[in-house]
Every structure is written in C-alpha cells, then in structure tokens.
Amino acid sequence: MKIVVAYKWAPNPQDAEVAPDGSVDWSRAKGAVSEYDPVAFEAARQLADATGGEVVGLTVGAASVDSPLARKAALSRGLDRLVVVADDRLADADGTRLAAVLAAAVRSIGDVDLVLAGDSSVDVAEGQVPMTLAGQLGWLGMAAVSGVTPSADGVVVERDLPGGITTLALTGPAVLAVTTDAVVPRVPGMKDILGAAKKPVEVVPLDALEVPDVVAATTLSGSRPETGNRRGVIIDGADASSAAAELVAALRTARAL
C-alpha cells in the first residue's frame, strides 16, 4: 500500500505573538510541521507497517518549505521519502490552489492508494484542503477520521461524528483527514533525526505539474470574533481564603455566577 501524507510546513504557534487587540503576529514564527499533522504521519506509518507499504510525505508551498531543517523535521516522523513542491508563486495560495497542486503532485507520484492529512492547519485552520484535494483527484474524501486499520481488500475507517461513531470499509483510493486524537504520534528520537538526512527527497518543480487554473477569491474585509468586554483582574493570592472570596465576588460582579 502506498500512502501519501499531505502536510503543511507552517509557522510554529509557540513563536506567534498575540497583541492586546487579539491580532496574531506570525512574522517572527519559525517553521514547523503543522501541529495536527504528526497524527497523520503516525497513522500512515502504522498502516504501512501493518501492510508492508510505503509512506511518502508531500508538502507544497513557498520556497521556504524546502529547507534542510524542514526536510529532516518531516522525514524524522516515520516517512520513507519526501516529495516537495516549493515555489514562491505558492506563497499566498489559498486552500483550493494548494489542493490543486497537491492533487497534481499525488498524480505525479503515481499508484497512490491513500492520502492522509491532519485535521486542519495550525495557522489557517480552515480544514478545507483535504476535501478539496479529494475532489480534485475525483476520490472519496472523509474528514473526522478517528481510526484507520488495514482489511483484506482495503482499509476500515472509523469516523467520529456528532451523531456517533461510524465504521466503514473502503476499497478504492481516498483522502482521509484524521482527528487530532486518532493516534498518539511518536516522538522522533536521535536515530530518527540522524536517519532523516539519509532518506530520499524529490523536489518537483511547480511548472512540471499539470495544475488546473483556480480562480482566487478576493478578500473584501475581515473581522475577529467578538471577545466581549475583557477585563484583567489580578487577585492577591497570599491569603487563600480571602483570595477565594475576592474571586467569587469578582465573578458575581461580572455576572458569571
């Protein structure tokens, strides 16, 4: 079974700065494998180990997604090899365009049985790319996948939906977006990290892929969700009982109690 893990090299949220007005400054954030994608890496690795298959990492984005650190960070998480499409023309690409490029790259890899992805990216968090990718490929697409196990002629997929858990059998190719708790991703050790530099990486030029044109939307305006009238109240905790009384009084004043 050939499994592709589509992941994002995204800004690390630990480096993001949140201004008092709630706006997030990502400009100083270093890159990292997007926070929820390691679950997809792990699910793919477990599936490949059980079926004797191969796990191919795939990422697309601006030229900065292809650095030695970015390669090793992904390859140390259980991939057998990596395919990268890195081009500054993709720097501000929206989810639909990225999905179109990913689909072209999946076709160029060839004979792919399954594409796994994380639930959503940590910086954009639209959760749109995996399902758009499935549409581009003409494959079955499923979000909220909480488990994938091999079966005699494909995989058995478990989905955690608001109405309950559903179990399905898949025989054809599919794109699955796994939930953040589908599996516990392994922590890369020194051997994984040192071994990562020796794994094959294929850099595919954007122009070598057949990517259909996608009409981009124009953002007219943006606003952040209403956070209410937030007040910072600092309570002196030196005396626990009076601090508790003060906390209760503050919550009552705010009509939270």
Partner 1 sequence: MDFGLTDEQQLLLESLDELLERECPESYIAELDLNHQPPTTFRRAMNDAGFGSLGFPEEYGGTPSDALTLVMLAERVARQGLNNGYGLELLQAMDILEFGSEEQKTEILGLLANGDVPFALGFTEPGAGSDNSAMATTAVHHDGMVTFNGTKTLITNALQSRYLLLMAKDPQVEDPRKSISMYLVPMDAPGVTTNRLDKIVWHISDSCEIFLDDVTLPESSLVGVKGNGFKQLMRNFELERLVIAANCLGLAQCAFDDAATYAAQRVQFGKPIGSFQLIQLKLTDMAIKLENIRNFVYKTAWMVDQELPLKSQGALCKRYSAMAAFEVADEAMQIFGGVGVTVGTRVSRLWRDLRGHRFGGGTDEIMVHIAGRQIVKDHS
Is residue 18 close enough to count as binding partner 1 by CB under 8 A?
no
- Quick one: which segment of 44-52, 171-179, 207-215, 234-242 binds partner 1 (CB under 8 A)? 234-242
Q: What whole-number distance in Å separates Cα of residue 141 and Cα of residue 133? A: 8
Three-state secondary structure call for residue 129: helix
Three-state secondary structure call for residue 140: strand
One DSSP character per residue, 150-161 reads EETTEEEEEEEE
Is residue 124 close enough to count as binding partner 1 by CB under 8 A?
no
Q: Is the dihedral of CA 98, 99, 104, 108 positive or negative?
A: positive
Is residue 246 close enough to count as binding partner 1 by CB under 8 A?
no
Instruction: Return the number of the residue (194 or 208) whose C-beta is nearest partner 1.
Output: 194
Q: Count Cα atoms within 13 angstroms, Cβ side, for 67.
A: 12
Is residue 183 close enough to count as binding partner 1 by CB under 8 A?
no
* Torsion from C-alpha of 57, 58, 63, 69, nearest 10 degrees: -10
User: Where in 186-225 is the site for partner 1 (CB under 8 A)?
Assistant: 186-194, 196
Residue 188 CB, shortest distance to partner 1, in Å, is 5
Which of 234, 241, 255, 256 touches partner 1 by CB under 8 A?
234
The binding site for partner 1 (CB under 8 A) comprises 32, 68-69, 72-73, 76, 186-194, 196, 234, 236-238
